[in-house]
Amino acid sequence: MSEYIGDSIFSSNELYRSVMNQLDRACSIAGLDPNVADRLKKPKRALVVSVPVRMDDGSIHTFEGYRVQHNMTLGPGKGGIRYHQDVTLSEVAALATLMTMKCSLVGLPLGGAKGGVRVNPNLLSRAEKQALTRRYTTEISMIIGPDKDIPASDVGTDGQTMAWVMDTFSQIKGYAIPGVVTGKPVDIGGSLGREESTGRGVVFCTEEAAKILKIPMNQQTKVAVQGFGKVGAIAAREIHSLGTKVVAVSDVSGGIYNEKGLDIPACMEWVQKNGVLKGYPNAQAITNEELLELNVEILLPCAMENVITGKNAAKVKARLIAEGANGPITPEGHEILVQKGVVVVPDILANAGGVIVSYFEWVQDIQSFFWQENEVNSRLKTLMVQAFHDVHGTTEKLKTDMRSAALARAMMRLEKAMLLRGLFP
């Protein structure tokens, strides 16, 4: 049955096939036990649910929802819930697999999971989105919980969505259970520093990679950041505060460029007032595509997937790339970059700051003891720096690129745990 599911349902998705190809390469490089490798290519559990919602006009529309738990050898499942019109079971399965690898890589006692509802959240009113969230939570409530599977926000969801999930689950159980989700508002058990954690983590990794490449973090070093949302804006702000010259940033409205450097706090204020970067003064307008090909030392793609491909990778001039977004570089693009000698800090490592602080939030919730923001940030940096050097050491030991090394290291930790636990029955 597992082969039928793996071959006939999930493998029809391009992202899932790409993830499986990456795992195959990492298994080969790491010399993984073939039985463990086979188990890691198939999710532990996949739940498909109907989510009927009474719309504002009185009609009832039934949406399709998913929750996939890939592997929970190391601990409860962990992974976001996304609301998007193109969400599929296969995509969710692929993302759950990557969450397993990410949690393993950075040493968390968590497994990988992911959820989603096939819906365009921009077409829903607040009341409809709340009704959707509460019904979806009810339908998956039997497989989530602070000791089972801990969802979080993702594409199309936010802290308010997680508050609704937490409240719905708590109403079902009869008492407040803040540890069922992460990414909640601080007022109901969220963690300080959570919103900035992914962007901060990207910069922590970038700093360590720059030291190895002997790239100084000062005004001699030019940086470009694609994406100016929750991840990109924070990454731009943090790397700007280190003294580097951020010459370009971009969002959905396009990019802005100034060879003398941009005032990132001023850019953030502009976006807060105007909604987008477009029209920002004292800068030249450029496209998102042009930003990727600028003459800079460091490039941080923090927006969409598949922006660096086999078609434009040869034109990328940066010596160092840290993937703030998930999958911003295609396999073909990555191969070209590696051949050029570009160091790519992969998404599984570079943007792991979000799941690390989600772990911190979960720990604080189950202990009912909350930390100061400086403590959160300090612990985040410690784990990110340690994970980076672990991956870099594996890169040198296995004589491979950082992406393959990161996956290999994650899988080696899982292999050890799975072999120690054995196979039931």
In the numeric block, which tokens belong to residue 320?
Answer: 């160092």
Average pLDDT (223-237) is: 96
Query: How far is the C-alpha of 329 from the C-alpha of 339, rounded, in Å?
Result: 14
pLDDT of residue 325: 92
pLDDT of residue 144: 98
Give tens-digit pLDDT for 341-381: 999 999 999 999 999 999 999 999 999 999 999 999 999 99
Give tens-digit pLDDT for 136-187: 999 999 999 999 999 999 989 999 999 999 999 999 999 999 999 999 999 9
3-state DSSP call for residue 244? coil
Domain boundaries, the chain: 43-176, 197-350
Q: Which amino acid is at 76?
A: P
Which residues pair with residue 301 across a beta bridge? 226
Question: Is-same-fold flag (43-176; 197-350)?
Answer: yes
Q: What's the predicted TM-score (pTM) here?
A: 0.93
**Count, residues in the chain:** 425
Which helix (H) or strand (E) segment holds residue 83: the answer is strand 77-84
pLDDT-derived band at 10 (thresholds 50, 70, 90) equals confident
Average pLDDT (306-310) is: 93
pLDDT of residue 368: 96
3-state DSSP call for residue 386? helix
Pair type for strands 149-153 and 77-84: parallel
pLDDT of residue 2: 39
Active-site residue list: 114
| Domain over 43-176 is classified CATH 3.30.530.20 | no
Cα 102 versus chain centre, distance: 9
pLDDT of residue 3: 40
Average pLDDT (1-12) is: 53
The values of phi and psi at residue 119, to 5°, are -160, 150
Judge whether 156 and 87 are in contact, CB under 8 Å.
no
Average pLDDT (115-141) is: 97
- Nearest 5°: the CA angle 144, 117, 46 is 50
In the numeric block, the tokens 């829903």 are attached to 124
pLDDT of residue 7: 54
Domain boundaries 197-350, CATH class? alpha beta
pLDDT of residue 416: 97
Query: How far is the C-alpha of 64 from the C-alpha of 87, rounded, in Å?
Result: 9
